[in-house]
Amino acid sequence: MSVEGHDSADARHLEMVAEIARRLAEAKDLDELLQRTATLGEEYLEHCDGVSLMLIGGAGRISSPAFSSQVAYDSDQAQYETGQGPCLESIREHASMLIDDLETDERWPAYRERVLSLGVRSMLGVRLFVLGDTMGALNFYSARPHAFDQRSILLAQVFASHASVALKAAITEAGQEVALRSRDIIGQAKGVLMAREGLTATDAFARLRERSQQLNRPVRLLAEEVAATGELPDAPRSG
């Protein structure tokens, strides 16, 4: 059925949904899929300044293996350290959580104080699940109050559904427990490189991959060293 007769905004919305599914499917492996999910989330949602993935690992431990900005990474860390926040609540309650304006929303006070200092005003947490099995949450952050309208929420939920299916397949193939534990370390290493070198999340991930190839070491082992020492090992000298 052609969309030519539909409202142009609705047609563009449908095109974006198709683009999201295609671009997620182009990821070559789990690491790339995780980072691509965060990066595309920020790209497609209007007024979004950062996206993160929270995934549930062994013993119910929640971590953020991928994020698109320093703000998204720091906001997730604030939730872990305070034990509260909309994204954790989204996972616990199996539902989407929206904050229109942190200045006036008094839920999660310890978290709220931390994140306002980061410049975050609006947030949206959307559950990642397949057939009722909650995998985690996809989190969207904005420096603008009332950033996410109903169209944005719908797009975020559709995006999360595509991401959930792709992630479930990739994690199952890689082996769930090992996969999530390894990606947690990679996420920590990306955060170190972002803070230390002023890189974007995508560039930090690319730097890890490039250096792992230069050193002929698995990305996971290299990430463990970066997370532990705060340093990226030098590339071997040519000649």
What are 76-125's pLDDT values in tens digits?
999 999 999 999 998 988 889 999 999 999 999 999 999 999 999 999 99
Amino acid at 23: R
Which residue type is seen at 186?
I
pTM for the whole structure: 0.75
Mean confidence (pLDDT) of the chain: 85
Q: Is residue 229 part of a domain?
A: no
Query: Per the domain annotation, does 170 fall within a domain?
Result: yes
In a domain, 222, yes or no: no
Does residue 66 fall inside a structural domain? yes
Per-residue confidence band for 2, with pLDDT thresholds at 50, 70 and 90: very low
Question: Average pLDDT of 49-71?
Answer: 87
As a whole number of angstroms, the distance between CA 122 and CA 27 comes to 29
Tens of pLDDT along 136-179?
999 999 999 999 999 899 999 999 999 998 888 887 766 655 55
pLDDT at residue 3 in the model: 41
Number of structural domains (the chain) is 1
| Structural domain boundaries enclosing 147 | 8-174
In the three-class reduction of DSSP (H, G, I as helix; E, B as strand; rest coil), residue 127 is classed as strand
In this structure, is residue 209 part of a structural domain? no
What is the CB-side half-sphere exposure of residue 3 using CA atoms within 13 A?
Answer: 10
- Residue scoring higher pLDDT (132 or 38): 38
For position 102, what pLDDT does the model report?
A: 95
Domain contains 2: no
Residue 135 in domain: yes
- Residue 236 falls within a domain, yes or no? no
- CATH number, domain of 89, equals 3.30.450.40
| DSSP structural state of residue 61 | -
- 48-56 average pLDDT score: 92
> pLDDT, tens digit, for every residue of 220-235?
788 888 888 888 888 8
pLDDT value at 27 more than 90: no
